[in-house]
Structure 1
Amino acid sequence: MNQFISLETPLRFIKGVGPERSKTLERLGLVTLTDAFYFFPRRYENRWPIKKISEISFEEKECVSGAVQSRGLIRTKYGKTIFKVALEDPPEVPHEPAEGALHRTDRLFGVWFNQPYLGKIFLPKSRVIFYGQVERNGRQLQMTHPEYEIIHEDTARGTIHSGRLVPIYALTQDLSQKGIRQLIFRVISEHVRLIQDPLTVSLRKTLGLEDLAFALREIHFPSTPPDRQSAYERLVFDEFFFQQIVIQMKKAKFQKENRLMAHPNGEEQVRSLIRSLGFELTGGQKSAIREITNDMKKGRPMNRLVQGDVGSGKTAVAAAGLAFTVANGFQGALMAPTEVLAQQHYFNLTEVLEPLGITCGYLAGELSPQDRQKVLDGLADGSIHVVIGTHALIQSNVRFKNLGLAVVDEQHKFGVFQRAALKEKRPGAHFLLMTATPIPRTLALTLYGDLDISVIAELPKGRQAIKTLWVGENKREEIYKFLDTRIEKGAQAYVICPLIDEPQEPSPKSLPVRQAGALAIHEALSRVFSHRKVGLLHGRMKSAEKKKAMQDFKDRKIEILVSTVVIEVGVDVPNANVMIIENADKFGLAQLHQLRGRVGRGGAESVCVLFSDTANSESVERLGAFESMPSGFDIAEKDLKLRGAGDIIGEKQHGLPSLR
């Protein structure tokens, strides 16, 4: 069948595979030759150099060669077998015992349990290579179940299991590293000629990339570390390059299939809105509004991401877009991830939009059936121009008369399908995503290549930098005195806890550091600050209770608000200028930055205090970086280095090729 082999040939037709073994390979996603070429190693083991027995070290993993001096099979009284092979250095190797050795160091034993068939493999005087942990058994050195490779005459061309950077692959039941390695080696050796490079020679030369066949050979069986790196760079380029092609094809298809009547008017409505705000927009805000309105004037749907740091004024940008779509006879919708944030958006947007004659509605799970039906009717008949809500907006009974713009705030908090569900309320509607969790621009262009991106880099005038302090428990009393002084001067404070309840016992993997629960911290602070008004907010409270707690905090009826991360995004209380985060090591960099962004919204100097006595090296690096970095964009770059792109991306982007 060789003359008919192609990259789509099933592996069961490859020599040494067959029907049964192919079923095992399918569990790893290995069905065709292409799958085998792109089944990349998870890591590599450096099995170089190949040592003589007299050179190996006790209790180390070693790669060693020798000649079979003797072999034997032992049967135990329980019916088990022990196969043992004795290797010796070749006669020409001088035998000098290592310093302090209690035995001859020119002999090494390999031991296998219940593998009697090995007697047919290890023939007398044959040359072999072992790789494994060197152990002591009395006065002897041995390896238990070492990986082995028989040295034949053609082994001079190179070994695949030893004496090199050896690939280590993902496995499944009934498949060994040797087995998968031999299969991949055979596929590459015999069929790499089938690989056709989609990049021309001139393009590869311009980009400094190796050809694809070379990259596939070297990523599996590197000749040298530099060759492996060159192969890696070529394959990474291919993944991102073809991902972008898919993204742009999807974008073109979407715009072709979803035509929307252009928004030709509305600039005066936007100008009226801006004049009513009472503050001057930043350059970034003006630029974002201009890009949004220009997009919406076109006869194709807008698909734009507005990325700005915490407190950069994205809500004002969204308000401009909503006013613009209403001025053109359409409706607008803004979806937020929490009721607390949705309520805040509703109050803020109502304040600036209703004076322009724009009717706003609110839709969330907390509404009574009667109030909910009023909003649904208003959306269906068009009497409600803009609706602000939570996930309730994407329920099937929500129908718009003429949706023109859908806005998703804190878009990373929603899943791919949730965002798509809002867009499907009116296929072809303009779509605006907003995030206050900055993403490195190179990563953003990769993840959101189907989106146009607006960046608001600067903060509004009058915003002061937030001072960040990382302290341990020994500073608690000092911090509490500082907090009391701030409150005496009229300030308010957040105290953030990672949990609602404190765990009964500390995690066995961590130091016995107290885990802060909001309920316990609230009780403790109510005693410490008995002369202050201490409030509580967490996710188990009823909607009305959460709403009252936030309103009391805004109205200064609460001076210290103990909360979980329910206040992480969007909450805006300008008078709050102290943020205390308990067990700060339990939070990621992006989450810490979001929490810190709840203060610094007024004219007074703001302070963020991180409590943590962690000794974990990763947490120490993370908190140290956060303490010294005020910019969310700098934090995003650091987060990328610490965690990698996969964790920052979070949910897999639906419909895109996965990255290896």
Structure 2
Amino acid sequence: MNLHEIPVRQVSGVSALKAGELHAFGIFTVNDLIEYYPFRYEDYRLKSLTEVKDGDKITVQAKIMGVPVLQRYGRKSRMTCKMVAEDWMFTSTWFNRHFLRDQLVAGREIILTGKWDLKRNQLTVSDSEFPDKGVQRSGTVQPVYSIGGKITQSWIRKTIQQAMQQYGELIPEILPEGLLKQYDLMSRKRAIQRIHLPQDQAEGQLARRRMVYEELFLFQLKLQAYRAINHERMDGVAHIVENSIIREFVRSLPFELTDAQKQVELEILRDMRSPYCMNRLLQGDVGSGKTVIAAIALFAAVKSGHQGAFMVPTEILAEQHARSLAKMFEPFGISVGLLTGSVTGRKRKDLLASLQMGLTDVIIGTHALIQEDVFFRSLSLVVTDEQHRFGVNQRSVLRRKGFNPDVLTMTATPIPRTLAITAFGDMDVSTLSERPKGRKPISTYWVKHDMMDRVLGFISREISQGRQAYLITPLIEESEKLDVQNAIDLYVSMQQAFPDFRVGLLHGRMTPGEKDEVMRAFYANEVQLLVSTTVVEVGVDVPNATLMIIMDADRFGLSQLHQLRGRVGRGEHASYCVLIADPKTEVGQERMKVLTDTDDGFEVARRDLELRGPGDFFGTKQSGVPEFRIADMVSDFAVLEAARDDAARLVADASFWTSPEFEPLRGYLQREQVLQGEVID
């Protein structure tokens, strides 16, 4: 029996209703359930009050010494009761647990878990249990899972343990003996058992170490095997184009390429000329000239007798690229089409026919490009901009519209190069590290909220000189948890502050059509001040916008702030970024300082990695870097590098493909469809 094939419904105690709730967490099979790992542990082992420090979370066995005192505040309540443990008298406090009052009988033993307040000689109780009713948690280390809805911690703990009892014997070992010995890793079965129910924190860490290595190793094995298999496949498109024709196109551009652009151009053209499928990631800082590189690649595809497709995340960005590429390509007789959701009726029908007959050479569009009725005569190059904005399926559908086309993926999210090479093991990585000539640096300032009047004066001066400004806020509407200016309130107050200017509003809950309408008005300078959430992070070039103001800047990640800053500085005028924040911590202050010190995206990314620490760097999947169940791309980077080397060594060894020792790993690759030559995203 294969755990990947047993529905989670087969676990005792999992009803059809509960199975549906588990599906929401991506848990469909028994294997999914037992690999649903805890993100931390609660330590319920008993401690002596003589050993604890102020603020510690502790579990202590005590005797009830007094009568509980209950105070009610509407629906809420606070209950206190005197306790004694090891001759130490203290007060225990419960919030909203008034139903326990009748059980708090003087002389009765109780086990309390909570936060210790040394000054007040008080324990704020989060959990309590009575030994005379049968103890469940105390004396143990309990896993804590990411849950929600109607699934509780106690239910998921119990259900995972039930699955281990029923199916634990079926957990297979997948790593070869050599790797287990090399790194002194515990067996897979024991690691999974101990990760869910460790005897202590140290054992939980050892179990995690084993599963982190396995996850990263399997990820790298998939990439390395895919590379090895596809390197043998010479069924891509070999683009044949003379250097002189490429040089003529580059000379026609109204600017000179930077050294970095020339280097990347060579790398991409070398890939395109080979019979292998290109799979290249082009990362470059905001405004580093990635679009020009895409234009050269598309030009080479068309001059080789084929077609190119360029997929971008928004309609207005597609329109902008279509305009600029049509201008570049027109002298060379290359026709450019634009396909977005707004292109309908006869116009769309004619465009699709032109594309299918090969009369349209380059098509630029949004996800409209991947609709079923879009056909190409000979698609040989697919370019995607800001790939993380598209799902894996969307990208692969576009790719399948050609016969093994070359793929160029572009991102403006700078990732430290070593991390990029390791994370995107199946892709070659090109980096644009320098700013095109003539791009002006952006002056960045950090101010506190009490200087808002001066900021408004700055906005007024810039707009009065004919410029435009962005004003960014983190949230759309009121939140009780976060005391931040929301976009809607800010929009209203800016209309009042600037009655002579037109103020626009942009946020994530607007429809794509509404967003595009606002951005078009801003692009045309019909709107002078745009109040927006971070939806402008990937947006259209507005060369006339010279001022970026970010409210509550400490609520954003450094890389995101850098992306937002890159929305200005795209024209001939001096540009500014103003960060408004009152960070409470040293790290928060340091982050503001990083942005005022440098506008180099790769340096910002490096500092972001240092300051934000494990797990936070890639934020909202913003870089397209894969997500892992248990491993962390940053804190486990050394393991990731070791796993990459181990996987590459194994795949290069002929015995890997034949020896019975590696059968489980080949089975894994089969299951992941790598051996069918599927493209890995």
Q: TM-score, normalised by structure 1?
A: 0.71
Counterpart of 1:649 (choices 621, 625, 645) is 621
Aligned 1:34-53 pairs, distance under 5 A: 38-51=35-48
Are 1:571 and 2:540 matched, yes or no?
A: yes
2 CA distance for matches of 1:407 and 1:301? 13
Which of 460, 468, 483 pairs up with 1:511? 483
Q: Following the alignment from structure 2 to structure 1, what is the Cα–Cα distance between the partners of residues 248 and 287?
A: 23
1:306·1:314 contact (CA, 8 Å) conserved in 2? Answer: yes
Aligned residue identity for 2:548:
M
Query: Is 1:494 paired with 2:485?
Result: no
Report the 3-state secondary structure (helix = DSSP H, G, I; strand = E; otherwise coil) of the residue aligned with 2:374. Answer: coil
Q: Does 1:416 align with 2:392?
A: yes
1:83 matched residue in structure 2:
none
Distance in 1 of aligned mates of 2:591 and 2:462 = 28
Query: 1:188/1:238 Cα in 2 relative to 1: closer, same or farther (>3 Å)?
Result: farther
Aligned 8 A contact 1:284 1:456 in 2: yes
Change (3 A) 1:18 1:373: closer
Displacement, 1:239?
0.5
**Partner letter of residue 401 of structure 2?**
K
Question: Following TM superposition, by how much is the alpha carbon of 1:311 offset from its aligned partner in structure 2, in angstroms?
Answer: 0.5
In 2, Cα distance between the equivalents of 1:296 and 1:257?
14
After superposition, the C-alpha distances for 1:97-129 in whole angstroms (9 at most, x for unaligned) are 64xx799xxxxxxx998999xxxxxxxx9xx99
Structure 1 residue ranges without an equivalent (≥5) = 69-86, 90-94, 104-110, 117-124, 136-140, 153-158
Matches within 5 A, 1:39-78: 39-51=36-48, 62-64=58-60
Give the alignment partner of residue 317 of structure 2, picking from 335, 338, 341.
Answer: 341
Listed one character per residue, the Cα deviations across residues 361-413 of structure 1 (whole Å, up to 9, x for unaligned) are: 22223346343333223212222211222222222232221111111112222
User: Which residue does the alignment assign to 2:561?
Assistant: 592
Q: Does 1 or 2 have the higher relative contact order (CA < 8 Å, sep 6+)?
A: 2
Q: Evaluate the alpha carbon distance shift between residue 540 and residue 223 of structure 1 in structure 2; reply closer, same or farther with a 3 A threshold.
A: same
C-alpha contact 1:258 1:427 (8 A) present in aligned 2: no
Q: Report what 1:387 is aligned to.
A: 363
Q: 1:451-496: per-residue Cα shift (whole Å, max 9, x none)?
A: 22211122123334322223244323323444555567x6723223
Mapped contact 2:281–2:430 kept (Cα < 8 A)? yes
Q: Superposition RMSD on alpha carbons, in Å?
A: 5.3
Matched, 1:244 2:213: no
Equivalent of 1:198 in 150, 153, 175: 175
Within 2, Cα distance between the matches of 1:207 and 1:471?
50
Rounded to whole Å, the distance in 2 between the matches of 1:289 and 1:453 is 13
Letter in 1 for 2:44: R
Query: How many Å separate the matches in 2 of 1:499 and 1:583?
Result: 7
SS at match of 2:469: strand
Alpha carbons 1:589, 1:622 under 8 Å: kept:
yes
Q: Measure how far apart 1:266 and its partner are.
A: 3.9
Report the 3-state secondary structure (helix = DSSP H, G, I; strand = E; otherwise coil) of the residue aligned with 2:341: coil
Cα pair distance change 1:466/1:233, threshold 3 Å:
farther
Q: Which amino acid aligns with 1:421?
A: V
Question: Could you tell me how far apart the structure 1 residues matched to 2:488 and 2:4 are?
Answer: 56
Question: Would the aligned equivalents of 2:237 and 2:272 in 1 still touch at CA under 8 Å?
Answer: no
Q: Is the 8 A contact 2:227 2:426 kept in 1?
A: yes
Counterpart of 2:530 in structure 1 is 562
1:449 to 418, 425, 433: 425
Residue 577 of structure 2 is aligned with which of 583, 600, 608? Answer: 608
- TM-superposed CA distance for 1:434, in Å, is 0.9
TM-score normalized by structure 2? 0.69
AA matched with 2:492: A
Q: How far is the alpha carbon of 1:149 from its aligned partner? A: 7.3
Asked whether 1:631 is paired with 2:600, we answer yes
Aligned to 1:155: none
Q: Secondary structure of 2:247's partner? A: helix
Alpha-carbon separation, structure 1, partners of 2:397 and 2:91: 73
Structure-2 separation of matches of 1:313 and 1:170: 41
Alignment partners' CA distance in 2, 1:9 and 1:394: 32
- Using the TM superposition, give the Cα deviation of residue 316 of structure 1 relative to its aligned residue in structure 2, in angstroms: 0.7
- Which moved further from structure 2: 435-444 or 176-185? 176-185
Query: SS of 1:649's equivalent?
Result: coil
- Partners of 2:353 and 2:166 lie apart in 1 by 68
1:422-460 CA-to-partner distances (Å, cap 9, x unmatched) read: 212224111211111223445544653332221112212
The residue aligned with 2:673 is none
**In 2: Cα distance, 1:331 partner to 1:325 partner:** 6
1:284 lines up with 2:284 in the alignment: no
Q: Deviations over 1:245-296 (max 9, x none)?
A: 2344455667778923311324322212221223332232122211211111
Q: Are the counterparts in 2 of residues 149 and 162 from structure 1 also a CA contact under 8 Å?
A: no
Deviation readout 1:273-330 (Å, 9 max, x if unpaired):
2212233322321222112111112223222211111001001100110010011000
1:496-520, Cα deviation, whole Å (9 max, x unpaired): 34499x85xx433233746555753
- Provide the rounded CA distance (Å) in 1 between the counterparts of 2:210 and 2:189: 10
SS at match of 2:342: coil
CA contact (8 A) 2:11 2:159 kept: no
Aligned counterpart for 2:411 among listed residues 435, 439, 450: 435
The answer as to 2:236 corresponding to 1:260 is yes
Q: Which residue of 1 aligns with 2:251?
A: 275
Moved more, 643-652 or 603-612: 643-652
Contact 2:144 2:153 in 1 (8 A): no
| Sequence identity percentage | 33
Larger radius of gyration: 1
- Give how far 1:219 is off: 3.3
Listed as ranges, the matches of 1:87-486 within 5 Å are 96=87, 98=89, 130-132=111-113, 146-147=128-129, 161-163=137-139, 165-169=141-145, 177=154, 180=157, 184=161, 196=173, 198-201=175-178, 203=179, 212=188, 215-216=191-192, 218-222=194-198, 225-250=201-226, 259-367=235-343, 369-441=345-417, 444-445=420-421, 447-483=423-459, 485=461
Identify the range of structure 1 (301-310 vs 160-169) with the bigger mean alpha-carbon deviation. Answer: 160-169
- 2:152, 2:461 → 1: CA distance? 67
What amino acid is the match of 1:380?
Q
- Which residue in the other structure is 2:509 paired with? none
